[in-house]
Amino acid sequence: MGRYSGNRSAVEALIRPTQVHRDVYIDDEVFDLEMKHLFANTWVFVGHDSQVPNKGDYFATEIGRQPVLMARHSNGEVYVMHNRCPHKGTKIVIDREGNTGKFFRCPYHAWSFKTDGCLLAIPLKKGYKDTGLEESEAAKGLAPVGAVKNYRGFIFARLNAEGPGFEEFFGDSLSSIDNMVDRSPEGRLEVAGPPLRYMHQCNWKMLVENQTDTCHPMVAHESSAGTAVKLWESLEKPEGTKKPMAMEVIAPFMSPYEFFEEMGIRTWPNGHGHTGVHHSIHSDYSAIPGYFEQMVEAHGEERAKEILGENRHNTVYFPNIMIKGPIQQLRIFIPLAANKTLVESYIYRLVGAPDMLLQRTAMYNRLINAPTSVVGHDDLEMYERAQEGLHSDGLEWVNVQRLYVEGEDMDETAVENGTTERQMRNQFHAWKKYMTMTMETAQ
């Protein structure tokens, strides 16, 4: 038994109603337990099915620290399996994506597998005659993950065979994915190009928390958004001059506290939640000519207005993705170590909609989330300062108390003031639940 390994009550004690212990961010043993329990018990985003449009297409990624690949099988379905040859452990694919044809072939000894993972053939198979190979786990092929769900194109997987069902885990939070997909006149998204890849020397949860942290933009991003607003004013354009697209994207980050208070936050059970219940930083973008008409034709006027009237800001799907429905962006926070996180930022095309929408989305992605972004630079600076600062022995606890209400029930959906830290508390409530779900109870 370590400090935390095999010590369920020590893990539970890390989370208090309004505080979390620093070890959830900096302790290697806690991180290992997250990989073993949290990322195995929850439904984790793997990829979008448009990344593997054709039979034999594959995409390699990680669930927590587990290397997995998703592949489009001959029956048209997407399968998710461990990226590890059952023979000697060699990773079956090492590139990020490609097409493998009708089967995967291990480059070491040429064991081959169907694109659903089943063993297809072994060279010189007579060497296994009467050895009982067919009874071994190696003969079963590439190990499947516990469960897979394709929800409107978004592929999620649960590593453990047993655990919460997909609908049970996500519940009403799926309405944010619905809204993103419904914004396509054809009800379909397609991934647009490779993701931005941004390395962060900090814990993955700092990024997840920041997605619903509405009290930092006007402070941490004053240097980018504030400067943009001042620069635009200094140009003294005639009144009524249309703001450039970049200004529409970046200026709302400087909105006052009241704007964020009034936008609202909604939390759902199991750690999911979103900012921008009533309006958001995406609400006042210019209309793109022709788009509304396409939506009316596809959905009828009333439904089209309903879909486009929803302007949710950031929706967190616990444990480690965030989506922006109004601009079709998804960011995944891939944990690599207690102090190392890879952030990948994807964008999607609304199939059938004008290109100008995608152009704005691509601009948002590079202006806000690139390693070359003047907005991202200051966020990363904050996370890395926190990762270092948490090693101070002056204090051991991180405060998440803003707008705390005694006795708040995270199993209830709630809509609250947009500057509450309730969603952070909601995440840690879910963290404790899914960390300890498969831990043995203390003797």
Partner 1 sequence: MTFPSRDDLIDFVYEEARMIDDGRFDEWLDLWTEDGYYWMPLDYKQEDPHLVTSLLYEDEFLRKLRVERLKGERTFSQKPKSRCHHVLSRPFVDEMDRDNGLFVTHTPLHYVETRLDEQFMLAANARHELVLVDDELKIRLKRVDLLNSDAAFGNIQLFV
- Would you tell me which residues interact with partner 1 (CB under 8 A)? 192-201, 220, 222-224, 226-228, 230-232, 244, 246-247, 342, 345, 347, 349, 355, 358-359, 362-363, 365-367, 370-372, 374, 376-378, 380-382
Task: State the Cα–Cα distance between residues 210 and 429, nearest whole angstrom.
Answer: 17
**E strand map for 214-357:** 265-267, 273-275, 315-317, 321-324, 329-337, 340-350
Rounded to the nearest whole angstrom, what is the least distance from the CB of residue 198 to partner 1 in the complex?
6
Backbone angles phi, psi at 26, to 5 degrees: -120, -10
Task: State the Cα–Cα distance between residues 346 and 361, nearest whole angstrom.
Answer: 10
Rounded to the nearest whole angstrom, what is the least distance from the CB of residue 235 to partner 1 in the complex?
8
Task: State the Cα–Cα distance between residues 323 and 346, nearest whole angstrom.
Answer: 9
Task: Give the position of tokens 């498969």.
Answer: 438
* Nearest to partner 1 of 2, 371 (CB atom): 371
Instruction: Write the DSSP assignment of 156-171 as a string of letters.
Output: EEESSSSS--HHHHHG
* Nearest to partner 1 of 151, 232 (CB atom): 232
* Nearest to partner 1 of 320, 436 (CB atom): 320
Rounded to the nearest whole angstrom, what is the least distance from the CB of residue 337 to partner 1 in the complex?
14
Whole-number Cα distances in Å, 108 to 58, 84, 193: 19, 12, 31
Rounded to the nearest whole angstrom, what is the least distance from the CB of residue 225 to partner 1 in the complex?
10
Peptide bond into 86 cis (omega under 30): no
Rounded to the nearest whole angstrom, what is the least distance from the CB of residue 320 to partner 1 in the complex?
16
* Nearest to partner 1 of 167, 388 (CB atom): 388
Q: Is the dihedral of CA 30, 32, 33, 39 positive or negative?
A: positive
Rounded to the nearest whole angstrom, what is the least distance from the CB of residue 70 to partner 1 in the complex?
19
Rounded to the nearest whole angstrom, what is the least distance from the CB of residue 219 to partner 1 in the complex?
8
Rounded to the nearest whole angstrom, what is the least distance from the CB of residue 413 to partner 1 in the complex?
34
Of 131, 134, 111, nearest to 122 by C-alpha is: 111
Q: Taking the mean position of all CA atoms in its chain, how far away is CA 233?
A: 36
Whole-number Cα distances in Å, 66 to 56, 81, 92, 206, 343: 22, 10, 13, 21, 16
Rounded to the nearest whole angstrom, what is the least distance from the CB of residue 102 to partner 1 in the complex?
28
What is the CA angle 333-435-432, rounded to 5? 95
**Burial class for 413, CB neighbours closer than 10 Å (0-12, 13-18, 19+):** middle
Task: State the Cα–Cα distance between residues 425 and 409, nearest whole angstrom.
Answer: 10
* Nearest to partner 1 of 234, 443 (CB atom): 234
* Nearest to partner 1 of 106, 322 (CB atom): 322
Instruction: Write the DSSP assignment of 73-125 as a string of letters.
Output: -TTS-EEEEESS-TTT---S--SSEEE-TTEEE-TTT--EEETTS-EEE-TTG
* Nearest to partner 1 of 329, 419 (CB atom): 329
* Nearest to partner 1 of 84, 349 (CB atom): 349
* Nearest to partner 1 of 83, 345 (CB atom): 345
* Nearest to partner 1 of 224, 267 (CB atom): 224
* Nearest to partner 1 of 200, 272 (CB atom): 200
Rounded to the nearest whole angstrom, what is the least distance from the CB of residue 72 to partner 1 in the complex?
22
Rounded to the nearest whole angstrom, what is the least distance from the CB of residue 359 to partner 1 in the complex?
5
383 and 202 Cβ atoms separated by less than 8 Å = yes
Question: 3-state DSSP call for residue 1?
Answer: coil
Of 34, 282, 278, 321, nearest to 170 by C-alpha is: 321
